[in-house]
Amino acid sequence: MGLKETLQVLVVDDMATSRGLITQALDVIGVANYDVADDGQQAIARLSARPAHLVISDYNMPGLDGLQLLEALRRNQLTQRIGFILVTGRADQDLIERGRQLAMNNFLKKPFGASDLKTCIEQVFGPL
């Protein structure tokens, strides 16, 4: 069994359309084991109940934004080693640097396609 079949992903985005675009791209590249969360708090609860290998999170969300979610995951011993990809329409240098300081693994600028997501994941985990 390859990485595509075993990788567990949690997609976090407050907008259903955006969650759908990410999960559709995961389907296209063959990653089938994913769950979704509407916001950062729900993501933390889901990850406590069912750990994942990778979180793909939007940056701009109410409550906890993507970087605040990342910070919370890195502070918790159970979730601190989960891979984290930030999805943002605003990939300015300050935002990316803040993410890197929090041990973000990679980021993806909107809009993106399935091949962009695949490349982004492969830069974290190796070939799918």
Q: How sure is the predictor about 90, in pLDDT bands with cuts at 50, 70 and 90?
A: confident
Give the CATH number for residue 71: 3.40.50.2300
Structural domain includes residue 23: yes
pLDDT at position 120 over 80 = yes
Helix (H) or strand (E) holding 9: strand 9-12
Amino acid at residue number 107: F
- Residues 20 and 114 sit within 8 Å (Cβ to Cβ): no
- Phi-psi map region of 115: left, alpha, beta (phi>0 left; psi -120 to 50 alpha): alpha
Structural domain includes residue 99: yes
Structural domain includes residue 128: no
Q: What is the pLDDT of residue 16?
A: 96
Structural domain includes residue 1: no
Q: What is the pLDDT of residue 2?
A: 85
Helix (H) or strand (E) holding 82: none
Structural domain includes residue 3: no
Structural domain includes residue 49: yes
Structural domain includes residue 4: no
What is the number of domains present in the chain?
1
Cα–Cα distances in angstroms (integers) from residue 6 to residues 20, 33, 46, 87, 126, in the given order: 21, 7, 18, 22, 13
pLDDT at position 103 over 90 = yes
Q: Give this prediction's pTM.
A: 0.97
Per the structure, the complete domain to which residue 24 belongs is given by 11-122
